[in-house]
Amino acid sequence: MHEMSLAEGIREIIEDQARRHSFARVRHLRLEIGRFAGVEKEALAFAFDVVMRGSPAEGATLEMIDLPGRALCYDCGETVELADRLDPCPNCGSGKLMPQGGDEMRIKDMEVV
């Protein structure tokens, strides 16, 4: 379950930011996750609760924001949203697509005290 290591990475970022900006607690954390990031949200929520014990984010609420998959179509030249990585271009039906986003995961913001 790589979601546990993702949660550990989030904890490291939170602890580093707590030292840099002198905050004691995280109340709410918003995390952006791309459709193609391969993250199981339920597993990440469970891992987040476990890994954050004893950290500034213990008891924090986790909000996960879905980001669409995007690709550039070589045939029509448009950047399009995709439901699945292997879908054809929804505009022209071409399969000649270059991924442009949707595999990212990042902390959008945190509510801290």
Tens digit of pLDDT for each residue in 70-80? Answer: 999 999 999 99
Based on the structure, what is the number of domains in the chain? 1
Provide the angle, in degrees to the nearest 10, between the axes of the packed helices 41-51 and 2-21. Answer: 50
pTM for this model (two decimals): 0.88
Tens of pLDDT, residues 80-108 = 999 999 999 999 999 999 999 999 999 99
> Helix, strand, or coil here: 47?
helix
Amino acid in the structure at residue 40: E
Domain that holds residue 82: 2-112
Exposure b/e, 85-94, CB count within 10 A at least 16 = b? eeebbeeeee
For residue 44, which phi and psi values (nearest 5 degrees)? -65, -40
CATH of the domain at 87: 3.30.2320.80
- 66's tokens: 């879905």
